[in-house]
A and B are shown apart, each in its own frame.
Chain A
Amino acid sequence: DTGVSQNPRHKITKRGQNVTFRCDPISEHNRLYWYRQTLGQGPEFLTYFQNEAQLEKSRLLSDRFSAERPKGSFSTLEIQRTEQGDSAMYLCASKTGGRTGELFFGEGSRLTVL
C-alpha cells in the first residue's frame, strides 16, 4: 500500500500524559500537513512541512503541541500534558508540487483523553 499511513490508529490516554503520532506520507510527496477533526466538524489546519521545514503553524497549535519532519520523510506530532479537549481525530495529509492541488489523507489517529 503506497498511501499515507498513520500510527497508531487509536490511542486512549489519561489526562496529563504525553502522546506521539506518526505519519508516513506518500514517498514522493514533499508537502505534509496535520489537521485536527472533532466530532461533527470539518478538519482544522494545524501545521505543514515542505520537506523538513515547518513553514506554518496555526494558532490552534498550542505550546503543548510539537511537530517534526526530521529527514523530510515521516513526521511526528507530539502532544504533551494532554487535556480532555485534545480528544479528536488527528489527520495527516501529503501532496507533491506547489501549494495548490489535491491532498492525500491518511486514515487518521483517534485520540481519547480520559
Chain B
Amino acid sequence: SQQGEEDPQALSIQEGENATMNCSYKTSINNLQWYRQNSGRGLVHLILIRSNEREKHSGRLRVTLDTSKKSSSLLITASRAADTASYFCATDAAAGGGADGLTFGKGTHLIIQP
C-alpha cells in the first residue's frame, strides 16, 4: 500500500513558471522526503524535511510540511525544461508506524513546455 498521495497526478506548465505539487499522508512520520525520477531511471533524492520543521529551501526548491494536516508541498521556482520528470513524496514512519522503509506516493508527472 502507498501512504502518500500526490496531487496533481500530472502537471504541464511553461518554462519559467513555478510548479507546485502537494502530498498527503496518513500516519505519524519522522520525516518526509521528495524524490525525482526521470523516465526509466532511478530515483534521486531532492530534499528531506523533519517532522519538527515547517519549511525548507534548497536552491529552486521550497518544501513545506504541515503535520496537523498530514500534508506537504514542493514548489519548484523558475522551472526549466530539464525539470521534466516524476516527483514523489516519501514518508519515513515514526517508530511502530509502518514498514521500516520509505513509503512512496504515486507521484506527480511534471512536464515543462519550452
Contact = CB atoms under 8 A, between A and B. Distances in A.
Interface of A: 4, 33, 35, 40-45, 48, 55-56, 58, 91, 93, 99-108, 110
Given A33-B101, A56-B101, A40 B106 contact: yes
B2 A105 contact: no
Interface of B: 2, 4, 30-31, 33, 35, 40-45, 48, 88, 90, 92, 99-107
Contacts, number: 62
Contacts of A93: 43
A80 B101 CA distance: 24
Given A41-B2, A56-B100, A107 B42 contact: yes
Contacts of A58: 99
30 contacts: A33-B101, A40-B106, A41-B2, A41-B106, A42-B2, A42-B88, A42-B104, A42-B105, A43-B88, A45-B99, A45-B101, A56-B101, A91-B42, A93-B43, A100-B30, A100-B92, A101-B31, A101-B48, A101-B92, A102-B45, A103-B45, A105-B42, A105-B43, A105-B44, A106-B42, A107-B41, A108-B40, A108-B41, A108-B42, A110-B40
